């Protein structure tokens, strides 16, 4: 005879608990935290380079750069003017989790910080399961990718609050269609805030930087 024992427990409850307490700490210190996710090569590091350059003088920004191997992204962010940059080399793991981010924030002086930007591992699947304590997920997609990506990876687009469409300078060089990608994204998540920009030419960066600055100010005045 078999016995059934009810358990009713979430599998990622430990990660969620850590993420929850991290979120509380960051909010207590009025720090805006964004979790940047995308496929490899969509331009997360490039966007962060541009963001630092634009906002460094007004805000105190810390960056966490997750990568499967190498600290190349962290080096790039330092070169771009990042004052507080921490690499996380996951050593093959396909996502960041709340424990990794907590171990970094434990080393930060949270009183001296306005914005924490976390660059996740380039992957549109695995990072979606792991809450990092962020205020928002920002998903990037570039015009060299398929415009059906929101439909192929609905989990990530559903959990994100913002979609950044990068590499608009290359529009017309591929079959990527701006109206189609937006329509696909809206069918998954009607509340997505969208930005179109090119990190290479700088087109469209101003509205993104302005929005980010406003979010940080809003968080600071809470």
Partner 1 sequence: MHELNIAGNIADMVRREMSERGLSQVEAISLRLGRMTDVNPDALSFGFGVITRDTELAGAKLIIEEIPVAAKCHQCEREFDVPEFSFSCPSCGSNAVRLIRGMELEIASLEVVENTSATSL
Q: What's 112's DSSP letter?
A: G
Name which of 131 and 135 has its Cβ closer to partner 1.
131
CB of 110 to partner 1, least distance (A): 28
CB of 156 to partner 1, least distance (A): 7
Name which of 14 and 24 has its Cβ closer to partner 1.
14
- DSSP secondary structure string for all residues of 121-189: -S-SSGGGG---S-SEEEEEEETTS-TTHHHHSHHHHHH-SEEEEE-GGGTTSSS--HHHHHHHHHHH-
Pairing of β 193-196 and β 162-166:
parallel
Contact positions vs partner 1 (CB under 8 A): 1-12, 14, 93-95, 125-126, 128-130, 151, 153-156, 158, 186-191
CB of 76 to partner 1, least distance (A): 26
Name which of 21 and 187 has its Cβ closer to partner 1.
187
Name which of 7 and 28 has its Cβ closer to partner 1.
7
CB of 119 to partner 1, least distance (A): 18
Alpha carbon 216 to its chain's center: 15
Element (H, E) at 72: helix 72-79
């Amino acid at each position: 005879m078999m016995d059934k024992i009810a358990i009713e427990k979430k599998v990622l409850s430990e990660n969620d608990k850590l993420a929850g307490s991290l979120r509380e700490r960051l909010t207590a210190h009025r720090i805006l935290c964004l979790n940047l996710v995308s496929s490899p090569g969509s331009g997360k590091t490039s966007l962060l380079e541009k963001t630092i350059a634009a906002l460094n003088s007004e805000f105190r920004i810390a960056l966490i750069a997750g990568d499967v191997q190498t600290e190349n992204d962290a080096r790039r962010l330092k070169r771009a003017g990042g004052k507080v940059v921490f690499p996380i080399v996951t050593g093959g793991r396909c996502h960041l989790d709340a424990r990794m981010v907590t171990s970094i924030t434990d080393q930060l002086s949270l009183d001296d910080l306005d914005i924490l930007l976390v660059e996740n591992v380039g992957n549109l699947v695995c990072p979606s399961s792991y809450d990092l304590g962020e205020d928002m997920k920002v998903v990037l997609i570039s015009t060299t990718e398929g415009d059906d990506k929101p439909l192929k990876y609905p989990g990530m687009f559903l959990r994100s609050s913002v979609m950044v469409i990068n590499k608009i300078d290359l529009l017309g060089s591929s079959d990527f269609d701006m109206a189609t990608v937006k329509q696909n994204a809206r069918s998954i998540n009607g509340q997505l805030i969208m930005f179109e920009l090119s990190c290479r030419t700088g087109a469209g960066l101003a509205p993104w930087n302005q929005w980010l600055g406003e979010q940080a100010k809003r968080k600071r005045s809470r």
